[in-house]
Amino acid sequence: MKIRFDKLGVVIALVAACGVFSSFAVLKPNRILQGQAQSILDALPSGMGWGLLLVLVMAGTAAVLRMTAWAKLIAAAAALLVLVLAMGYAATFLTPSGNSYARVSPASGFWLLLFAFALLAADAMTRLRPPPWMRILFLVIAAFGIGGVLMSGSWNGLSIMKEYSGRADVFWTEAGRHVMLALGSLAAAVAVGLPLGIFCHRFTALKDAVLNTLNLIQTIPSIALFGLLIGPLAWFAATVPGAANIGIRGIGAAPAFVALFLYSLLPVVANTVIGLAGVPREANDAARGIGMTDRQRLFDVELPLALPVILTGIRIVLVQNIGLATIAALIGGGGFGVFVFQGIGQTAMDLVLLGAVPTVAMAFAAAVVLDASIEMNFRVQNGARSA
C-alpha cells in the first residue's frame, strides 16, 4: 500500500517539530526580569512530558498523512487541548513553593505548536466545507472550551492570568470600551456610508470625488490621524456649550471614535457602490416592468441583491476597527491597548499579551460570524432565484 503525504501537513509537521525542539516555558524570578527557558521534558514531570510528546507526534503524523478531514480535525483538537492543559500544569510544576514573585510564561515552542495545530484544525475545517451554521457551532465549541480551561483554574499559575487577577475589574471595563469603540464607529459608518454609497451610485459624477477623498483619509497613519483630531475636538469642546458634558474632548474616546469612523467609511461606501453596480440589469428592468418606483426598486431589489457585497465591506471594517481600537489607548481612549502599552512601558510581555490576545480573539470571532452571515445571505438569495 502506497503511503500518500499531505503537502500542507508536511509544512505543519515541520513547524510543530520546531516547536518541540524549542523552549516550551520560561521561568522568571519576577514579572519583568528575563527568565530561564525550559524544554517540554524540563517543564513537566517526566511521565507527563513524554505523554505530551506522544500526543504531538501522533497529531503530527495525522497532519503528514493523507487522512479524512474529520480525522485531522480530531487530531488537531486533541493536540491543542493537551497542549493547553500541559502549559497550565507546567506553571504549577515550575513555580517554587511559596514563591509569589516567580512567573511562568509560554515560550516560543508553545506558540509554534499552538500555531501549527490551529492551522491543522483550520485546514481540516476548510476541507470539510462546513455550512455557515456549522462554522458558528465550531466557534461556540472553541469559545466554551477556552472558557472551561480558564474557569477551571488550570491556567491560574501562568503569568498572564496573574496579570489578569490583579486587573480583573479594569480588564472588563476596558473590554467594554474596546467593543464600544469598534462597534460604535462601525454603526456610525454604516449609518453614514450606506446612504453615501447609494448617493454615489445614483450620481456617478460625484463618485470619484467622494471615493478619492475617503482614499486620502485611509493613507493617513492612525496615530497621525488621532493627533490631528485632538486640536479641532478640543476647540469644539471649549466652544460649543454642553459638548464637554457628553464626552467630546481633545483626548479620550472622542478623537478615537471619530478616527475609527473616518477609517470605516471607505470600505462601506466603496462596497455599497460596487454591490449596487453589480445588480443585474434584468432585475431592474423587471422591477420597472411591474411598475415599481425608484424607492421600491432600491429597497426591494437593489439593496437585497447587493447585501452580500455590502456585508463584506462591513466585515472588513469590523475586523479593522477591532485592531485599530488598540491604538486608541495612546490618546486616553481606553480599550485593550491600555494593557499593551502599559506592558511595553514596563517591559512586562505578559501584560502586553493580556491586551493582545483578546483583541486577536475578538477579530477572529467577528470574521467567522460575518463570513457565515454573508454566505447564509448568499445562499438565501440563490435559493430565492432558483425558486
Q: Distance between CA 206 and CA 13 in Å, rounded?
A: 53
C-alpha cell at 10: 508536511
Give the ranges where the chain is alpha helix by DSSP (H). Answer: 7-20, 40-43, 46-64, 69-94, 108-128, 132-152, 159-165, 168-202, 204-219, 222-239, 253-277, 281-289, 294-297, 303-324, 337-346, 349-386
Q: Distance between CA 356 and CA 203 in Å, rounded?
A: 43
Q: Distance between CA 230 and CA 180 in Å, rounded?
A: 20
Which architecture, in CATH terms, is 168-386?
A: Orthogonal Bundle (1.10)
Q: Is 101 exposed, middle or buried (CB count within 10 Å of its CB: 0-12, 13-18, 19+)?
A: exposed
* Average pLDDT, 10 consecutive residues per value, the chain (387 residues): 80 94 91 86 91 94 91 94 93 85 91 95 90 89 90 89 89 92 92 92 85 88 79 75 68 83 91 89 81 82 87 90 88 88 87 92 90 77 55
pLDDT score at 271? 93
Evaluate whether 73 touches 125 at the Cβ level (below 8 Å): yes
CA angle 284, 287, 289 (to 5 degrees): 110
pLDDT score at 374? 82
Helix or strand holding residue 27 (H, E)? strand 25-28
C-alpha cell at 73: 480535525
pLDDT score at 370? 87
Q: 514579572: which residue's cell?
A: 31
C-alpha cell at 50: 513524554
CA 123 distance to own-chain centroid = 18
C-alpha closest to that of 164 among 178, 150, 180: 150
pLDDT score at 288? 81
C-alpha cell at 289: 416592468
Task: Tell me the longest C-alpha to C-alpha distance in the chain.
Answer: 82
pLDDT score at 381? 63
pLDDT score at 62? 92
User: Model pTM?
Assistant: 0.84
pLDDT score at 71? 93
Q: Where in the chain are the domains?
A: 7-151, 168-386
pLDDT score at 87? 94
